[in-house]
Structures are given as structure tokens and as C-alpha cells.
Chains A and B, each alone.
Chain A
Amino acid sequence: MRNIWTIAIREYKHYFASPIAYILAFVTFLALGGYFFLNIYYTTQSGGQAPPPGVDIVTGLLVFLFVFICPALTMRLLSEEQRLGTLELLLTAPLRDWELVVGKWLGAFLFMLTLIAVTFIYPIVLNLMVKPGIDQGPLLTGYLGLLLVSAVFLGIGVMVSSFFSNQVASYVTTFGILFVFWWIIRITSQVVGAAGGGVLTYLDFSGHFYNTLLGGVIEIGDLVYYLSMTALTLFIGTMTVEMRRWK
């Protein structure tokens, strides 16, 4: 546990020492702020015709942004260690391979947690503006969903970054995988329909979020799905690191 924490804290601090975290945070808050403003503006302009916006205007957009943000956060995690040769240092330190991989993931996850925590300002503002306050259910499940989705996305990112020593390759591949699992499979499953559609629907990342958590529904199946996907990606990442020892 201690080793995981040591690795995670180093990564977490590193984000704040590099420009990339600030750029990502800036873009995220810009997009969120703009979208938030437009929604509020539209509602007030409609003169009470349009229903007041729910918390899904924040969570729905944020989860979409994750597809771009997460690969950027994870691309250097293990790739950079391989490029610098510091992987040799970590692999000869008294540290198990899985501790290294989980620690890297946790570092990125803590950063995402920080980012997500800051966005909580929007539901608070929304709650003050809407009478008699926003629906609490979707707020909690939406944010739970954000955590779960970012856990999986970062897991995929860490796994991919164990494959490459090139950060750009890591970013592009991670983005590609997220793109496929977030949109392509969803579209394909709708096209295919019943035949094989069930499997595709299950594989679809976004369905487990949009269909339930976004709207305030918690299904154990979704939680299991996200958590097991995270575990699987970290397991594959660990295997890849271990295989590097043999080369």
C-alpha cells in the first residue's frame, strides 16, 4: 500500500508541476462554464417555458470531455519511464510490478478527483438558482458515474502507456480505444440490433453511464462492469510491465 501511495503522490504532484494539467483544467472549465451559461441563459430567456436544467448538463458534458482528457493524463505515466530508462530503477526497487501500475493509475485518478471536485461548484450554483433546488439523485449518481468512468478511462490509459515508450503513440491509441468503446460500439449495437447487439451493448462504456447513472439510477451491474474493467486494464498493464523484464 505504501509503495502505491509513494508512486501515486509523485505522479499527482507531477501534474501540478507540468503545464499539461493546467491546460486540461482550463479547457475543461471553459467548456463547462460556457455550456452552463448557455443552458441557464436559454432557460431564463424562455420565460419559464423550458424546464429548468438538471445536473446532467454538467455531468453529461464532463463525461464527454473525459474521452479527450484521460489519454492526456495517462500518456506519459509508463511511457516516459521506459523512454528515460527509469523503469529499470523502479523494477529494481523493492516494489512489486502491480504496485507500480496501480500507483501510476492512482496518481492520475487523484488528479481527476481534484478536477471533478472543482466542478462541483456548478451543481451548487445550479441548486441556488433553481427552485426548489435540483434533484439530488442524479447529482449523486452522476458524480459517482464520473468517478467510475474516469477510473476505467485512466485504467485503459495506463495499460496503453505500458505498451509504448512514445507518449504520442500512447495518447492516440488510448483515445482510439475510448472513441471505439464510447461511440462506435454504441452506434454499431444500434445498427446491428438484436443479433449480437446484447454483447455490444454490454461492452459499450457510455450505455452504462447514460442509461442509468446520468439519470439517477444505480444498477449493481454497471458498478461491477466499470470496476472489473478497471481491474482488467490494470492487470494487463502489470503483465506488460512484467513482460518487459524478459526482453
Chain B
Amino acid sequence: MIRVEGLTKDFGARRAIENLTFDAEKGEILGFLGPNGAGKTTTMRILCGYMPPTSGVASVAGFDVVSESIEVRRRVGYLPETVPLYPDMSVFEYLKFMADLRHLRDGEDRVDEVLELVHMEERADGYIGNLSKGMRQRVGLAQALLHKPEVLILDEPTIGLDPAQVVEVRNTIKEIGRERTVLLSTHILSEAQQVCDRVMIINKGHIVAEDTPEHLQTRVTGAQRVALRVQGDEDGLSDVVEGVPGVIRVIKSLEGGVEFETQAGQDVRPEVARAVVSKGFDLLELKPLGVSLEEIFLQLTRDEPEPPMVEGEEGLDSESDSEKEEEQV
């Protein structure tokens, strides 16, 4: 659905994104994760035909974003970071206007449908200027969904929403993502973890990592951590655990238990459980501890003066020497 190859965009002397290559399939929710100014918005703008790239090619649904821009725009639903709304129009008028621009034959019905989808049907006749931030965000989302786009590009869709709305919007996105392609940018890591099938971490215009949220965790740490709790006395527990094959080491002792590290891709919990029980401990809990995406993120985007990695390595290439302005485009 989305193919991007060697995408580079310069704004004057500033390079916003450099040599991005990725793709997204139908029915996939791809998360675009990165700090402000990493190039998320720029990439999205290129993909929805707003601006041409400096070099490289990008295609959406088989159409080139530069030479077949109109075809691309027909198939993309886009929610920019600052939700583009006319405050002096009513919600219905606004959506009807967009439906007309998209030549929808059943325009008014579609408007009613999307309003229902974002739970805004009661405010259809209200002026956009009077809506709260969260409601505006939802109207923006409704606008992006109007024409049942094959590809949905959402730039920070949950920003400014209250927690209940965040959950709601995330569920909506997940639902849509089942049959369509969704490209979603966020700097909230837990959001990427919850919503996305695949996460791409981007920093200073480079992709620093791309994988499923689960794989990213094991790949970065190279090990899995497990917390173990027992009832009563925990003396000698560390030695028992360390004696189990596959366990690398005990990291620290917790209250009523220990935390240990095992080799990646190997679940040793049954062995550990047996060993612990056979030594007379009352096993209460054996829980795998995912390294949070936060840690991965920090690890990947930390400025380390490393030489650029070889291509195809999805390297930890970060340019600490360049003092680029972190500007929101």
C-alpha cells in the first residue's frame, strides 16, 4: 500500500529526512515514532501529496506521490497535526464541503456515518469554533475517514484528547486498521505499543529501528527479564534460579523475590518454576518483564558519536555532531 524508497527532503540547508525506506501493507497499522522534529510530519506530508520530496520515490496504493498526486490524494485520508477546520462552519457543513470536494455521491449519508463513528452526531449542527479540542480532533478524524480511504495517515491523532477520548480514538484506529493501511505518528510510546502492528523509530530524519513492538524489545536488550515472587522467606532463591540452564544472571532481589535475565528467545519459566518448587519455595508469581518502549527509544535515539552504519543494517546511526534545529515544520 505504501512504498517509500530513498526518500530525502531538504528545507533549504536543513535536511528534514534522509534516505528513508520503508513500506506498509494492507491491514497494517504502522507507527511512526520519534521526538519532535524527527521528520515524521515531513514524511507524512510527502505521502499524502502535500509536498514533493527532494529525492527518492514514494507511492501510495500504486500511485506515485509526485506524478500521480491527485490519484494518491483520492485514496488517502489525512489528519494533519494541527487539525484543519473552519471555525465559522458547522460540523455538518464542513464535512459536507469535504465530501463534495471528494465527489462523494452519497455525501450526506457518509457524513452521518462518520459522525456516528467518531460519536459526534449530536454536535453536527454546532459551530466548529465552539467545540473543545478533543471534539475538533474527532471532527478532523471524521474528515479523514469520509471517503473510506485505502490509506489513512494520522499525524499525532490523540494529542490534546482526554484519557477517555484517547482510548476511544485508539480503538477506532485499531478497528479501521483491520482492513486499511494506517500510518500513525506519535511521540507517546505506549500508544505505539498498544495500537501499532509495527513501529518505526525515526530520529533526525533517519529510521533507527523498525519492527513489531515485541521484537524491538528483545532485539534491543538481547535478553528477557523475568520477575519471580515466592511466599515467605526468599533466602537462597538467587542460587536456585541461577542454577537453571538458560538463566544468565539474577539482576536484583525484589521484595519477596528476584528479578533475573534469561537468554533471548528462550522461555525458561517452566524450568525455573520446577526448580524453585522442588527446593521447597512456595511460588507465587513468575512474570516476564518487557523492557518498556521508552527504554528502547532512549537507547536508540541517544546521541552517540558512532560512525554511520552500513546500509541495510537499520543502524543506530545518529548524528551527534550536527546541531540541527529541532523545528516543527
Using a CB–CB cutoff of 8 Å, the interface residues on chain A facing chain B are: 2-3, 6-7, 10, 14, 17-18, 84-96, 245-247
Tell whether, in the assembled complex, residue A84 and residue B101 are in contact, meaning their CB atoms are under 8 Å apart.
no
Interface members, chain B 84-117 (any A CB < 8 Å) = 84-88, 97-98, 100-103
> Which bracket fits the contact residues of B?
20 to 34
Interface membership of B284, Cβ < 8 A:
no
Q: When A6-B97, A94-B74 are in contact, do A14 and B84 touch as well, CB less than 8 Å?
A: no
**Across the two chains, which residue of chain A brings its CB closest to B99?**
A6
Using a CB–CB cutoff of 8 Å, the interface residues on chain B facing chain A are: 11, 45, 48-52, 70, 73-74, 76, 78, 80, 82-88, 97-98, 100-103, 143
Find chain B residues with CB under 8 A from A84 CB. 84-87
Tell whether, in the assembled complex, residue A92 and residue B85 are in contact, meaning their CB atoms are under 8 Å apart.
no
A93 partner, pick from B51, B73, B83, B86, beta carbons under 8 A: B73
Q: When A6-B97, A10-B97, A88-B80 are in contact, do A93 and B50 touch as well, CB less than 8 Å?
A: no
A94 partner, pick from B70, B82, B86, B87, beta carbons under 8 A: B70
Nearest Cβ on chain A to B85's Cβ, whole angstroms: 7
Most chain A CB within a 10 A radius of its CB, from B11, B78, B100 = B100
Find chain B residues with CB under 8 A from A86 CB. 84-86
Find chain B residues with CB under 8 A from A89 CB. 80, 84, 98, 143
Tell whether, in the assembled complex, residue B100 and residue A6 are in contact, meaning their CB atoms are under 8 Å apart.
yes
Q: How far is the CA of A89 from the CA of B77 in the complex (A)?
A: 10
Q: How far is the CA of A92 from the CA of B75 in the complex (A)?
A: 11
B98 partner, pick from A17, A88, A93, beta carbons under 8 A: A93
Tell whether, in the assembled complex, residue B84 and residue A94 are in contact, meaning their CB atoms are under 8 Å apart.
no
Tell whether, in the assembled complex, residue A245 and residue B84 are in contact, meaning their CB atoms are under 8 Å apart.
no
Tell whether, in the assembled complex, residue B88 and residue A18 are in contact, meaning their CB atoms are under 8 Å apart.
yes
Q: When A88-B50, A246-B51 are in contact, do A93 and B101 touch as well, CB less than 8 Å?
A: yes
- Which 3 pairs between the two chains have the least Cβ-Cβ distance? A89-B84, A86-B84, A94-B73
Find chain A residues with CB under 8 A from B74 CB. 94
**Across the two chains, which residue of chain B brings its CB closest to A103?**
B101
Q: How far is the CA of A96 from the CA of B49 in the complex (A)?
A: 11
11 contacts between A and B (CB under 8 A): A6-B101, A10-B97, A88-B80, A92-B48, A92-B78, A92-B80, A93-B101, A95-B101, A96-B70, A245-B50, A246-B51
Nearest Cβ on chain A to B200's Cβ, whole angstroms: 21
